[in-house]
């Protein structure tokens, strides 16, 4: 596994009211959701990036009130 290091102001953690470790988890989930919604990665890959299993990733989408399946014009026309 590759480690990536970024520098953030200390105020970031107090703004989110979380520890640096919790913030990293939030960033991983946010990135995974973003790339999944853009259709760039699968649910399985998004779950992996977020450090979750697929079920928990889908639950995270539901908690954020986001669609679990990307809706395309083709999919919309079928429904």
Residue 79 has pLDDT above 60, yes or no: no
Residue range 14-28, pLDDT digits in tens: 888 999 999 999 999
Q: What does the pLDDT average to over 22-41?
A: 95
Report CA torsion sign: 27, 32, 37, 40.
positive
> 20-37 vs 43-50: helix axis angle to the nearest 10?
170
Rounded Cα gap, residues 22 and 29, in angstroms? 11
| pLDDT range class, residue 48, cuts 50, 70, 90 | very high
Query: Quick check: 32 and 46 in contact, CB under 8 A?
Result: yes
The rounded percent of the chain whose pLDDT value lies above 90 is: 66
């Amino acid at each position: 596994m590759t480690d990536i290091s970024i520098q953030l102001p200390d105020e970031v953690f107090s703004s989110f009211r979380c520890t640096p470790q919790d913030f990293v988890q939030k960033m991983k989930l946010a990135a995974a959701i973003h790339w999944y919604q853009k259709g760039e990665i699968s649910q399985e890959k998004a779950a992996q990036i977020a450090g979750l299993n697929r079920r928990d990733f889908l639950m995270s989408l539901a908690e954020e009130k986001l669609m679990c399946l990307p809706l395309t014009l083709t999919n919309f026309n079928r429904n």
